[in-house]
Amino acid sequence: MKSRFIIKQTTMTKITAAITAVGKYVPEYALTNQELETMVDTNDEWITTRTGIKERRILKEPGAGTSFMAIKAAENLLEKSGVAAADIDMVIVATATPDMPVASTAAYTASKIGAVNAFSYDLQAACSSFLYGMSTAARYIESGRYKKVLLIGADKMSSIIDYTDRATCIIFGDGAGAVLFEPNTEDLGLQDEYLRSDGIGREFLKIDAGGSILPASEETLKNGQHFVHQEGRTVFKFAVSNMADVAEKMLTRNDLTKEDIEWLVPHQANKRIIEATANRIGLEEEKVMMNIHRYGNTTSATLPLLLADYEKELNKGDNLIFAAFGGGFTWGAIYLKWAYNS
């Protein structure tokens, strides 16, 4: 007697990680170029010409740190989307300025917004933190185990800036942005990524003191070693070449032309770096998201703040190229298809 086996063929539905909601928060206080003229030897024309920045927001609330802005951005996202905080599975806070060493800013943020069922942690890759966080959040969604991952980029850069140092105080500002990643079965969301790092950059963009090599002391405080130090020309050179390279790589390996791209979403460090990246892939200014003139460089918050500011102009299926460069050095690009019409 012959046995007959019936083989049932099942088709696995591919899960991608899509952004389904965004939120933002920027402090009320605007530090203008004109005010900086009274603090350091600079002027509005010099700052605007070299950076594209007109003003930057500064968090002035006493006792408020990065988590204050992260919470506000998350609450803005939850209010707009109608998502219940208790339904969030995971919270990542991308930041270079956590509230304090050891204690997780993400864990505190999750608790304060009511994400009682989420596990949380911080992610630090300087100005590339949010870009790396997108990759991380996507992997958790694609695993099928998690349905809602809240990724927040937030930095209180004013807490680590020396406002007598013209090289850095004109550049940085405070702010936070948030996005929600959820599963998608329409092949929308994150499509490809290329993330890089090189420890050669450690000497060119850093804070000397406060870590395990040089713990805080009376001497380090007196020497101002707890502020950001940047060798501007070197960082600029690396940023221009590497951000442009990875953006171009995203197009090449995904068989995309400039006509296929609706938006470039670049880290907001310097207008000239942004323009160089756009020029490399042939994108006209109208396709480049930019808000550096209003916020300056908010480090981990630049990319989500762009999405929040341009959300109403985004349409389902739009091709977005994200690119960032940060201290370390860290850099990379991500290709993402937008998942909804605002």
Which residues carry out catalysis?
A: 127, 267, 297
Q: Which of 308, 282, 36, 31 is nearest to 164 (CA)?
A: 36
Burial class (CB in 10 A: 0-12, 13-18, 19+), 267: buried
CB 107 within 8 A of CB 70: no
As given in the structure block, the two tokens for residue 332 are: 């990379």
Beta pairing, strands 189-197 & 174-184: unpaired
Helical axes 66-81 vs 105-113, angle rounded to 10°: 40
As given in the structure block, the two tokens for residue 281 are: 């892939």
Residue 151 φ then ψ, to 5°: -110, 125
In 3-state terms, what secondary structure has residue 331? Answer: strand
Q: How many residues are given for the chain? A: 342
CB 319 within 8 A of CB 335: yes
Dihedral (C-alpha) 23, 24, 25, 29: value to the nearest 10 degrees?
-150
Dihedral (C-alpha) 287, 294, 231, 237: value to the nearest 10 degrees?
10
Residues 145, 19: Cα–Cα separation, whole Å = 17
CB 33 within 8 A of CB 48: yes
CB 264 within 8 A of CB 244: no
CB 73 within 8 A of CB 307: no
